[in-house]
Chain A
């Protein structure tokens, strides 16, 4: 038995740790950023004086630390929600931001706030609930359009995403126009996607979302891998596709809403990071999920750092930074996927 298992490479698997060397490096990188970045900014903080200097301590504890923590969790959550979404639609361009789930969640949150249905605070759990409803509406819209067209090509998905995005953006504008003008600026700023939050509540919401996402991925990794193959393959392996898909779409809407209701729509992380994560994780789903989480965290932490230091004291919302970096990457992905389908 021993020789057979050595021959088949099974033993190799048993001796390898749950994290590969590459993901361990990413983990250390993310940890390092998490430790260093709170000290850097328009005002540099000195690690030795934050304990004694009251003002420095306040900046560190009230502003910098929650912000970097939020970047960590939000980046990770955005990335894994992209990964789950790609597998659900069997398409690497089918991420929440491209499909319009993100905009749907944003519209839900804005409408909830504007109509006074859920009170007045962004990032509050009420925005999360109406955001989830918005995200779910978007998912249902996408699914019914795809079912109606009976086609899941890149073209159909992108066009569907375009339509859904437009629909929900106009809903947001409509809600801004019709209702109370008092916090229009705050909402406008929020819609650019940013991490300038007031406290730890938001961090906890997003961290909870990330824990839920990773729990879902590791509990249902076999189902998610099967879904990413083909309809016939996964069905003949005994996957109840329809039931699992419904559950997974629900989870996806919750995850997207958890991050969007806090940070606003931050684009392209969900699209780009899983793509790189698959390369780092060598296409093994578990490793890919871990790598994507860490990469998302690193990219959003660095992006936000750039946003608050590039033209300090003016801050550029991190959503604008990620879009700047993400748009060309998206084009590259699109070109390569069109080339491949020819």
Chain B
């Protein structure tokens, strides 16, 4: 259970998030929507404790977020950025092993538990052929897969995804969608920021609409055309196709 009460974030005297209140239940799947510059990324980063500080209160199971050390927080939540640009070469295996960093002390090595999660995740994602490669040499889809795998090796209950489908081709996008669905079935809390409304809307059970740092709607997922129009200033329509519901922009 994550509770946000009147959370505001100001960066360089500019208000990015303005008194957001929200309650995230375990195993929720939140879809966060909003136009560019609405504060979606800032919200995710703040929740992951890697933002610039906030006013108001964010509690994880009753404990205030600012009181956590980076390491203990990294055992609860992982944030996956929209795009990670690596300026130095890093071996994929090393990057994946960093998923266990929050659990390791200065002198500790990989425990059997660390090893088990590592091995399982590597075979689940078929990362075996990539292990010795340099992360800089991977394609966009491969890189995303490695980063998500390293987040799963981190083995946290809450996963924050920031625009996970950017720079991905249709096949990688579909694979990633399947994975996100699997994750939400594995008792993980998932919060996704994405413009891919059509794909993610059917999967989510909660909806957060942000605009100019303010919350327009937070709660159970509903298709409310006026709210979406207010958020994006574009019309949306829900269509049925072969017994499935899709959301499309009204052009």
Contact = CB atoms under 8 A, between A and B. Distances in A.
Q: Are A and B co-members of a single complex?
A: yes
Contact of A237 (B90, B99, B123, B134): B99
Contact of A8 (B69, B73, B123): B123
A228 interface: yes
A334 interface: no
Interface stretch (A22-30, A218-226, A259-267): A218-226
Interface residue tally on A, bucketed by range: 20 to 34
A166 B69 CA distance: 40
A230 interface: yes
Given A229-B86, A284-B94, A235 B134 contact: no
A328 interface: no
Nearest to B116: A1
B119 A226 contact: no
Contact of B79 (A222, A236, A285): A236
B238 interface: no
Which of A87, A237, A282 counts the most chain B CB atoms within 10 A? A237
Nearest to B106: A219
A328 B72 CA distance: 47
Nearest to B73: A238
A230 B85 contact: yes
B91 interface: yes
Interface string A83-99: 00011001110000000
A278 B101 contact: no
Interface string A203-239: 0000000000000000100100110111111011111
B101 A222 contact: yes
Contacts of A237: 74, 78, 98-99, 101-102, 150, 154
Contacts of A90: 87-88
A229 B150 CA distance: 13
Contacts, number: 107
A225 B94 CA distance: 8
B65 interface: no
A322 to B, nearest CB: 23
A232 B78 CA distance: 10
B50 interface: yes
Interface of A: 4-5, 7-10, 86-87, 90-92, 219, 222, 225-226, 228-233, 235-240, 278, 282-285
B71 interface: yes
A10 B119 contact: yes
A9 B133 CA distance: 13
Contacts of B177: none
Which of B87, B94, B123 counts the most chain A CB atoms within 10 A? B87
A249 B214 CA distance: 40
B119 A5 contact: yes
A229 B90 contact: yes
Given A226-B98, A238-B101, A283-B91, A233 B84 contact: yes
Contacts of B86: 229-230
B165 interface: no
B166 to A, nearest CB: 14
A232 B88 contact: no
Interface string B32-76: 000000000000010011100000000000000000011111110
Given A226-B101, A238-B102, A284-B91, A232 B74 contact: no
B122 interface: yes
Nearest to B89: A283
A221 to B, nearest CB: 9
Nearest to B12: A150
A284 B133 CA distance: 10
Nearest to A286: B94
Given A92-B87, A233-B98, 17 more contacts: A4-B119, A8-B119, A9-B122, A87-B88, A228-B90, A233-B84, A235-B48, A235-B79, A236-B77, A237-B101, A237-B154, A238-B101, A278-B89, A282-B91, A282-B132, A283-B90, A285-B91
Nearest to B103: A238
Given A8-B123, A10-B118, A240-B69, A232 B90 contact: no
A32 to B, nearest CB: 29
Nearest to A231: B50
Contacts of A228: 88, 90
B123 A230 contact: no
Contacts of B78: 236-237
A282 B50 CA distance: 31
Contact of B70 (A9, A225, A239): A239
Contacts of B98: 222, 225-226, 229, 233, 237
Given A222-B98, A229-B95, A237-B99, A8 B122 contact: yes
B115 interface: yes
B81 interface: yes
A232 B123 CA distance: 26
15 contacts: A4-B123, A9-B128, A10-B119, A225-B90, A230-B81, A235-B48, A236-B79, A237-B102, A237-B154, A238-B72, A238-B75, A238-B102, A240-B69, A282-B91, A284-B93
A219 B128 CA distance: 27
